[in-house]
Amino acid sequence: MRLLFLSPIIPYPIIDGDRQRAYHLLKALAEKHEVHFLCFIRKAEDMEHLQELRKFCATAQSVLITHEQLLLNCSRAWFGPQPLNVAAFASAQMQAIVTKTVSEHGIEGVHAYRLRMAPYALRAEVPFRVLDYTDAMTRQFQTRAKVQTGVLRQVYIQHEIQRLKKYEVRVSHQFQATLISSALDRKLLVSLGANPAMAEVTNGVDIKEITAVKKLNKEPRLLFLGNLEYAPNAWGLREFCRQIWPRLLENIPKVQLQVIGKVPDKLLQESLLQQTGIQYVGVVPKLTEFFQKARVAICPLQVASGRQLKVIEYFAAGLPTVCTSIVAENLEAADNKHCLVGDDPKTFARQVARLCRDDRVAEKVRKAARALVEKKYAWNIAAAKMHRLYPKKKKSGRKYL
């Protein structure tokens, strides 16, 4: 099938979980179909990364959208029916390229990665459309409503919840196939009226590339992976630094934390985050050496939807992990079996200290976590489920159903 893959991000370099999912599923589709790729980029220099995607895509194009354009689109759409997270990405240029690509390459199907690209897929004149929600934005905003303060923030959150509920449900009935990464997110949308045929296609890792560390480091070194341009990651780390890190410093004087991932300059300037023992490494090409040096991995997110790829990577690397219950629940990971859970600062700090000091518990947890990944979270498993959503070739006249 000749496919057009639409994405609101360029999935290379793979610097966060969102890009990792987009990259691996795009590559899997390209193994079975002729795939044409089109995405939004935020900086002109990102265009150079399209060359990596051209190694397996028939074509790869991009449309620049600036922060100012996103804000202008949101202001225009405030009183409209679309969620702002969708309306922000309105672009006449993107629509024109979609239409041209469909016509010039005889596109038979469109794969929209994330809700933001749904309008372009629905306007494309093709017989087959797929929408990858990745996660339920309604659920994410419902969680944000519980933890965020401030009148203006709450006005925005409630505005989005009401529109997302309707939009996520409505578009599920307009695509020939839909997929989502988490059973809990799927359950919520179906309960609201979404198409029950929505498939669960989980996030994953390359279990051949990420092997479990052979021996845990004895030093109390913690690891946090995450793109801190993503608000829930930044909020989670701030709260960890404010409420949990001082407790750890008091009880484990030699404790260290390495933060891996994209860190905005404004975030680095916050005095709260500049505390003893915390090192901001930034984006790295390979995580292997950081996995090997870590004793405990952390994911202190209070707002989370979908399956947290960073935690799947921790599990695959054989790192004993402390996370919040919402993260563990999304991954169907059991407390005291696959990870340790802490939802308040005191409990979270106690669980980290426990894994730093108790080799027996650390070994038990990390082995069970690796086994869970091998059973459920390999990319080849996710790709196989995605491929089943696509129509099969027919022996007779028409090529596809």
Residue 5 belongs to what H/E stretch? strand 2-7
Cα separation, 10 vs 18, in Å, equals 10
Tell me the pLDDT band of 117, cut-offs 50, 70 and 90.
very high
Does residue 109 lie in a domain region? yes
Shared-domain flag, residues 188 and 283: no
The answer on 123 and 13 residing in a single domain is yes
Residue 398 reports pLDDT greater than 80: no
- 215 found inside a domain: no
**pTM, full prediction:** 0.83
Task: Establish if 216 belongs to a structural domain.
Answer: no
**Residue 241 pLDDT greater than 70, yes or no:** yes
In a domain, 401, yes or no: no
* 255 and 317 fall within a common domain: yes
Percentage of the chain lying above the pLDDT 90 cut: 78
Task: Check whether residue 231 and residue 300 sit in a common domain.
Answer: yes
Residue 401's pLDDT is what? 34
Distance in angstroms between the alpha carbons of the first and the last residue of the chain? 11
Does pLDDT of 207 surpass 90? Answer: no
159 lies in the same domain as 33: yes
Inform me whether the pLDDT recorded for 269 exceeds 90: no
Q: Which domain holds residue 118?
A: 2-204+380-387
Let me know whether 187 and 77 are in one domain. yes
Q: Looking at the structure, tell me whether residues 259 and 187 fall in a common domain.
A: no
**Residue 147's pLDDT band (cuts 50, 70, 90):** confident
The C-alpha atoms of residue 132 and residue 87 are separated, in whole angstroms, by 18
Report how far residue 118's alpha carbon sits from residue 43's, in angstroms, rounded to the nearest whole number. 23
Element (H, E) at 110: strand 109-113
**Could you give the number of structural domains in the chain?**
2
Q: What pLDDT is stored for residue 397 in this prediction?
A: 39
Residue 39 has pLDDT above 50, yes or no: yes
pLDDT confidence of residue 260? 94
Hey, what are 330's tokens? 């999304």
The CATH number that applies at residue 97 is 3.40.50.2000
**pLDDT above 50: residue 279:** yes
Confidence of residue 151 (pLDDT cuts 50, 70, 90): very high
Indicate whether 212 belongs to any domain.
Answer: no
pLDDT tens digits, one per residue of 307-342: 788 999 999 999 999 999 999 998 999 999 999 999
Q: State whether 242 and 360 are in the same domain.
A: yes
Average pLDDT of the residues in 366-387:
94
Asked whether residue 84 falls in the same domain as residue 198, the answer is yes
Mean pLDDT value across the chain: 93
